[in-house]
Structure 1
Amino acid sequence: MINWIRNFDFAKETARKSGKAILLQFRMDNCSGCKKMNESSYLDKDIIQFVNENYIPLKLDIVKDREGRRNYPAIWTPSFYFADYSGKLFYSIDGYLNQEDFLVVLNIGLARVLLSKGKYNEVYDLLQNAIKKHPKNPRTAALYMLKAQTHFLLNRNREEFLKLLEEIAVLFPNSAEARQID
């Protein structure tokens, strides 16, 4: 079970003490995507484990919690925001996510927060593992792009970076990430 916190300041303080990232979901009453998340994705054992190990989970009402919403450009529910202990945003995405998509997104969000802390080796291992688990998911192209960027930050080798970008173009030719490549 994911034990959601309902207070923004408490989540930030808990994240600061634990060193974990914050996973914020905005929700509202009668949100069909929120209901689907509760009935499927949030019951998945891999999601529960990943969230509990890596995040301080925070759930706020987009209508009622104006203070929390003031910090983020939330206009839709469910919407997901990935932040550090100070609440600084590193990644966000809107809408219902099935189990596999949500696991990929959880890895993207965590990687972006950890990259900001300079934890390149940890991020590289995280991305390698996520790519191995979700090789065919369309969102995995974003994992590959982050992997290429992280590899470059670790090694500063442009040729290796370009080879990793070519891999994205071959594996995910229609992805937004492939279109970013010259």
Structure 2
Amino acid sequence: MPRLTALVGLILLSLLVWTPVQAAEGGIHWLDYPAAAAAQKKQAKPMLIYFHLPYCYRCKEMKIRVYSQAAVIDKLNRDFIAAKVDADKDKATTKLFNSQYTPTYVFLNAAGKEVYRDKGVIGVERFLGLLDYISTQAYKKQSLDKFMKGH
């Protein structure tokens, strides 16, 4: 009986880990910054530029807890152009956007102008709120904190 319970628990755990990515068509459609900049010229979408390092524990936490969630994946893929920048490998883009911390999130409006930036680990609910804040252009009218209180 303990073996059966352990097996059922393992199956349930694997489903929890596997389901969000499967539900969102294979994850976020990340581009490198040059490809994202080219895509933004063709599409009228805001851009998220995500500065990370492969060995950054905060970046790994974002990948596991936030970027694996179906709601985040769907919203980013639908409403944003998503650029992922390795701060060690793409020093030119890192310098261009003055990113000195990982993870850093730089949001550009559809015209390519920076409208918001944040850093560190952000929980799923706040990250989804942040995506709404940018995609609805609420940043033109109010602070993120005020937006989140009414959201």
TM-score by length of 1: 0.60
Q: Which moved more, 1:82-91 or 1:100-109?
A: 82-91
Q: How many angstroms apart in 2 are the aligned matches of 1:67 and 1:113?
A: 30
Instruction: Give the match for residue 161 of structure 1.
Output: none
Give unpaired runs (5+ residues) of structure 1. 121-126, 128-138, 145-167, 172-182
Of the three residues 127, 141, 147, the one matched with 1:143 is 147
Equivalent pair of 1:91/1:112 in contact (CA under 8 Å): no
Q: How many angstroms apart in 2 are the aligned matches of 1:72 and 1:140?
A: 21
Shift in Å at residue 77 of structure 1? 0.6
Q: Identify if the C-alpha distance between structure 1 residues 140 and 83 changes in structure 2 by more than 3 Å, giving closer, same or farther.
A: closer
Give unpaired runs (5+ residues) of structure 2. 1-26
| Residue correspondence of structure 1 range 88-107 to structure 2 within 5 A | 88-107=113-132
| Matched letter for residue 29 of structure 2 | N
Instruction: Give the match for residue 87 of structure 2.
Output: 62
Of the three residues 17, 28, 31, the one matched with 1:5 is 31
| Residue correspondence of structure 1 range 1-182 to structure 2 within 5 A | 1-6=27-32, 8-85=33-110, 87-112=112-137, 115=140, 141-143=145-147
Q: How many angstroms apart in 1 are the aligned matches of 2:109 and 2:82?
A: 12
Equivalent pair of 1:83/1:113 in contact (CA under 8 Å): no
Q: Identify if the C-alpha distance between structure 1 residues 93 and 114 changes in structure 2 by more than 3 Å, giving closer, same or farther.
A: closer
Between the two proteins, the alignment pairs up a number of residues equal to: 124
Shift in Å at residue 112 of structure 1? 3.9
Question: Identity, % of aligned pairs?
Answer: 24
Q: Identify if the C-alpha distance between structure 1 residues 68 and 86 changes in structure 2 by more than 3 Å, giving closer, same or farther.
A: farther
